[in-house]
Amino acid sequence: MEDRPQIGYSKKVMDHFMNPRNVGDIENADGIGTVGNPVCGDLMQVSIRVENDIITDIKFKTFGCGSAIATASMVTEMAKGKNIEEALKITRQDVADELEGLPPVKMHCSNLAADALHEAIKDYRAKKEGRKEAIEEPAR
């Protein structure tokens, strides 16, 4: 596979697809964001652990293509260690840029990754403020 060209995919995309970082769940997460794209069928969930407004742990699960896996992996790497405000500033384009580009037809995957992160932060804030619209983690 390494000898064949990966049309439209950077080495960074291939690395994050083949060796994704931060895969899984965080038990009793402080925030969970789940987003999906009905057009392609991709689904992504990001869970975060926050201490003193710093994202100390972040995990993802995705049902999607290689680009969805790579963008989710990258967004977790970008957000880990950042405070909530800094993490909220991570854009869809930032994710694609960090991966050294995505084919135009796969840009929606970077949308899912950034959006799932933002939804997890929104959920964290809602839980922190005690609002009932915070997403409850399903019982295991």
Neighbours of 73 (CB within 10 A): 25
65 has catalytic annotation: no
- Distance from C-alpha of 133 to C-alpha of 110, rounded to nearest angstrom: 26
Q: Which residue has the tokens 């930032």?
A: 94
Task: Check: CB of residue 25 under 8 Å from CB of residue 107.
Answer: no
109 has catalytic annotation: yes
Task: Check: CB of residue 59 under 8 Å from CB of residue 22.
Answer: yes
Query: Strand pairing of 54-63 and 43-51?
Result: antiparallel
* No. of helices (H) and no. of strands (E), the chain: 5, 3
Active site residue: 12, 34, 40, 137, which one? 40
Active site residue: 29, 74, 90, 109, which one? 109
Name the residues annotated as catalytic: 40, 109
